Structure 1
Amino acid sequence: MPDPRSTPAVAAHPKVDALPALTSLRFVAAAYVAIYHYAPIYFPKTHEPYVVPLGYTGVTFFFLLSGFILAYNYRRADLSTPGRRGLFYRARFARIYPTLLLSLVIHIPWLLNWSSVQPEPLKSLMHSGLVLAPLGLHAWVPGAACSLNCPSWSVSVEVFFYAVFPFLLPLVLRRPAAVAVVTALAWMLGAGLLSVAWAAYGGGVSLIGPEPGGLGPVFLAEFIKYFPLFHLPTFVAGLLLCVVYEREEWSVGALLFAALACGVLIVAAAVFVPEPVLHDGLTVLVWAPLILACAAMRTGPLCAAPMIFLGKVSFAFYLLHIPVFAMINTADRVVLHGWLAAHPWTAVTLNGAASLAAATLVHLLVEEPARRWIMGRAPRRAAEPMAA
C-alpha cells in the first residue's frame, strides 16, 4: 500500500463549517453505551439510577446525528448522477469499513465460543453473522444481528441509511413538512404494532434481556431492536433536524433546558412506557434539542481540542469496547482467577482505559490512513462539479 499521506483524498461534498461540539458529543454518547454494557456485568446487584439502563438509547442519538450530519454535509451537493452517488458511497465505506472489519475479526473467537453452547437454530444463525456482518447485512437477520461484536448491528443499520440517503435527501429538502408528517405517523404506527407484538409474544420478559423467555422472545426481541426499517424514522428525523437548523435560530440555553426536561420526564416515566417505544426512537425528544444546541456552539468545553479528539476516536471506541472487554474478561478468568470481577470499579476503569487506548491506536494507525488511501484512489471526475 502506498503512503496514504502522499495521495490527496478526493472531497466527497462541498466544504462546510465544522461543528466541533457535535464531534465531541459523539464520544459522550459512545461512553454512555459502554457504561450501559459494563454496568450489569460488574454491578449485577446494584440498583443504579434508571438513566444507566437507558444507555442503549445512545444508539438512537447516533442514528439521529447521522441523518443530521449527512444532510448538513451534502445539502448543497449534487447526488443525482451515479458517479457522484458512487463517490458518496465510497466516502461512507472509507469512513466505517476498515474499523468495522477489524473489530469483527478480533471478536471471532468469542463468537465461536459463545455459539457453541447455543441450541439450534440460534447457533446456525449466529454463525451466519460471520458472513453477514462483514457485508453489513446482519441487522436484517434475528439471531445474526448481535452475534459478532454486538454493537456492530448499528453499523449494519447505518449501511441501509447510506444506501437510501441520496434519494431521501432531495425529498426532505423539497417537502420537509410532508416528510415530517409521514415520518411521525410511520414511527407511531410501527412503535405501536411492535409494542402490541411484544406484549403478546414476549413471554413477560424484558426486551433488553429476553433470554429467560426462550428462543421465541429472543428472536422477536432481536427483530424489534435491530431491524433496520424500524430505525429509519429516526434517521429521517435527523435529516429534518438539519432543515430546522438551517431555517431557524434557537437559544442554546432554551434547547439545553428542553433536552434536560425531556430527559427527566422520560427517565421518570420509563417504567410505564412500552420497551419498543423507548428502544426505537422516543428519546429523539431528548437528543434532537441537544444536537441543535451543540450545533450552534463554537466555544465551551465541548469545543476544546481534547474533547474533539475524543469525538474523532469515538467510532473506534464504540466498536472496540466489547472486544476489549472480551479479552480482559478472558484474561481475568484464566490468569487472574476472577480478581477483576471481585473489584468491579477497577475492572470498569481498566476496560474503559484499554478501550480508549485501543481506539486511539486504531484511529491513528488504521481508520484515518485507510480512509485517506481509499479516497485518494477515487476518480476525480466524479467530484467535479459536486455542487447542486
Structure 2
Amino acid sequence: MASSTSSDAAKRAKLPSLTGLRFFAALLVFFFHSSLTDSPIPPNAPINPFADATIADWFSTAFSKAGYLGVSFFFVLSGFVLAWASKPGERFTAFIRRRLLKIFPNHVVVFAAAMILFAGAAVTSVADWLPNLFLIHTWFPQPTVNLSVNPPSWSLGSELLFYVLFPLLIIPIRKIRGNALWVWSALMVAGMVAIQLISTYLVPDTPKSTITPVSGMQFWFGYLLPLGRVFEFALGILLARVVLAGLWPKRVGFGAALALTVLGYAAALVAPFQYGFVVATIIPVAALIGATASADVEGRATFLRSRPMVWLGEVSFGFYLVQGVTIFYLRSLLGTETYSVPVALLVIAGFFCASLLGGWLLFRFVEMPAMRRFGRSRRRTQQAPAAVSEPYGSRATAPAAVPDPTAVPAPDPVPVATAGRTS
C-alpha cells in the first residue's frame, strides 16, 4: 500500500534525515581509504595501519566496496534533492551558477592543497592536471588524467554533467504520472546493468589495470565515465517524484531499507568486480533514500534528523573532498610502520578528526561565504532582498534541513594500486 502523504504536504516537507544520512555515505569512503593496502603516494606503503595480518585483511575486505556504495548513494541523492526543490520556470543561469559555486570553490582549495602536499611532484605535465582543475578529467580514459591530483574529485566531473542535464531531464520526468514512475525507475536500473554488460563484453579487457582486476578501459567506461552515471542521477529524480506523489510503499521503511542495503553490500563483495560498482547495491540505495525521505515527509522521528547529525551532513561534502588528501598525506608522514590494534585505532581516529576539521573549515570559510556572496543574482537581490528565489535546492531555498546534492560526493573511493580495491 502506498503512503497516504499528499503531494502538497510532501512539497512543504524538509529533509533533515537525508542530510544526516549523507554523512554515513561519506564515512564509507573514509573507511575505504583508511583500509587500503597501498598508498598512492610513493613509496606506496600500506595505509592500513594494523600490524596483525588477520585484522588488516578483515579491515581491508570489509570496506573493499564501501566507496562504490558511497558514490552511488550521492549520485542518486543528487537527482532526488534537485528534483525535490525544483520549480517550473526557474532560470538555467541562476541554477547553474549556484551549482558551480557549490562545488568549485571547495574543489579548487583542495586541489591546491593536494598539489602542494604531494600531487605536484607526481604529475608530469600540464595535460595531466589541468583537466582535473576544470572537472573534465573523467572524460579522458588515461588514468594519469582521470585520477590525477585529488582522486576523489573524479565524482565531481559526473556532478557537473548532472547539473547541465537536470533542466532538460526534469521537464519530461515531471510529466510522468502514477505507476509509470516505477516503470521508468526500472528502466534506469536496466540501463546501469547494460553499462556493465557493455563494459564486460564489448570494451577491451586488455591491458589490465594496475589498480583493479579489469582493464583500464573497462574501469573507465564502467565506473568513471560521467555518461554512464546519468542513470543513477535520473533514478534519483524519479524517486523524488514517487515520494512527492505519495506513492512510496509504507512497508518499505527505514529499517527494511537498511537491511536491504546490508544484503546488497554483501552481494557486492562476492559479485563479479564490475557489478559491485553500482548494480549490486542500486536497489538498496534507492530504497534507503526513498524510505528516509518518506519518514521526513510523514514527520516520523529518526536519529538522523538530530542537530549533530544534520551538522555532520552539512559538512560531509567538505569532509569527502579532504579525507583522501588527509589520509594519504598523514600516512606518508608516519612511514611504513604498522601498529598494534589500540594504536592503529588511534591512527584511524586521528585521520578522522583531521578530515572532519578540514571539512568543517571548507564549509565554514569557503563554501558558505562563496554562496552568500555570489549565490544570488545582484539584480534580484536588490529587487527583493527579503525573498530571493533560490532554484533547484540551493541553500537559501532549503536551509540546513535539505541535503545538498553536491556532497559526491560524491565521495569517491580513490582508486589506488591495489587489485580489486578501487572505487
TM bin (shorter chain): 0.7 to 0.9
Report the Cα offset of residue 173 of structure 1.
1.3
* Partner Cα distance (2:241, 2:210) in 1: 41
Q: Which residues of 2 match residues 276-295 of structure 1 at below 5 A?
A: 276-295=274-293
Tell me the C-alpha RMSD between the 2 structures: 3.1
Determine if contact 2:189/2:279 at 8 Å carries over to the other structure: no
List, as ranges, runs of 4+ consecutive aligned residues in structure 1 with deviation greater than 6 Å: 339-342, 381-388
Partner amino acid, structure 1, of 2:114: H
Taking a change above 3 Å as real, the CA distance of residues 179 and 363 of structure 1, as seen in their structure-2 partners, is same
**Residues 379, 145 of structure 1: CA spacing in aligned structure 2 closer, same or farther, 3 A cutoff?**
farther
Name the CA shift for 1:23/1:129 in 2 (closer, same or farther; >3 Å).
farther
**CA deviation string 1:131-150 (max 9, x = no partner):** 11221101111221211211
The one-letter code matched in structure 1 to 2:197 is G
2:353 paired with 1:353:
yes
Shift of the 169–261 alpha-carbon distance from structure 1 to 2, 3 Å rule, reads same
Deviation for aligned residue 1:51: 4.7
| Uncovered stretches (5+) of structure 2, i.e. residues with no partner | 1-10, 37-46, 393-423
Equivalent residues in 2 for 1:237-256, closer than 5 Å: 237-250=235-248, 254-256=252-254
Q: Would you tell me which structure has more helix in proportion to its own residues? A: 1
Shift in Å, 1:213: 7.6
Instruction: Give, as a single letter, the amino acid of the residue that structure 2 aligns with 1:19.
Output: L
Supply the distance in 2 between the matched residues of 1:359 and 1:49 (Cα, whole angstroms): 24
Corresponding residue for residue 334 of structure 2: 332
2:13 paired with 1:17: yes
1:346-375 deviation line (CA, Å, top 9, x unaligned): 221101000001111221111101111111
Alignment CA distance shift 1:181-1:249 (3 Å): closer
Number of residues of Structure 1 aligned to a counterpart in Structure 2: 350
Task: Tell me, yes or no, if structure 1 residue 27 matches structure 2 residue 29.
Answer: no
Task: Describe the superposition over 1:224-268 as per-residue Cα deviations: whole angstroms up to 9, x where unpaired.
Answer: 221001111111000010111012254666333442343343344
Map 1:215-364 onto structure 2 (within 5 A). 217-250=215-248, 254-295=252-293, 296-297=295-296, 298=299, 299-333=301-335, 338=337, 343-364=343-364
Deviates more, 1:176-185 or 1:88-97: 176-185
Map of 1:71 onto structure 2: 83
Pairing 1:39-54 to 2, within 5 Å after superposition? 39-40=35-36, 41-42=47-48, 43=50, 45-48=56-59, 51-54=62-65
Amino acid at match of 1:187: M
Q: Return the match for 1:187 from 161, 185, 192.
A: 192
Question: Does the aligned pair in 1 maintain the 2:76–2:286 contact within 8 Å?
Answer: yes
The 5-angstrom pairing of residues 154-233 of structure 1 reads 154-175=155-176, 177=180, 179-180=184-185, 182-197=187-202, 201=205, 210-211=209-210, 217-233=215-231
Query: 1:320: Cα distance to partner?
Result: 0.4
Where do residues 142-157 of structure 1 align in structure 2 (5 Å cutoff)?
142=141, 143=143, 144-157=145-158
Aligned amino acid, residue 356 of structure 2 = L
Q: Residues of 1 paired with 2:322 and 2:262: CA distance?
A: 30
Q: How far, CA to CA, are the matches of 1:354 and 1:108 in structure 2?
A: 18
Q: Which residue of 2 aligns with 1:6?
A: none
Relative distance call for 1:164 and 1:249 in structure 2 (3 A) is: closer
Q: Take 1:159 and 1:387, find their aligned partners in 2: how far apart are those partners?
A: 17
Q: How does 1:77-156 map to 2 (within 5 A)?
A: 77-79=88-90, 84-109=91-116, 110-115=118-123, 127-142=126-141, 143=143, 144-156=145-157
Identify which range, 273-282 or 84-93, moves more after superposition.
273-282
**TM-score w.r.t. length of structure 1:** 0.80
Following superposition, the deviation at residue 273 of structure 1 comes to: 2.3
CA–CA separation in structure 1 for the residues paired with 2:252 and 2:60: 25
TM-score for both structures, normalised by structure 2? 0.74
Separation in structure 2 between the aligned mates of residue 201 and residue 115 of structure 1, nearest angstrom: 26
Instruction: Name the CA distance, whole Å, in 2 between partners of 1:272 and 1:92.
Output: 37
Whole-angstrom distance in 1 between the partners of 2:212 and 2:286: 34
Give the aligned residue type for 2:173: V
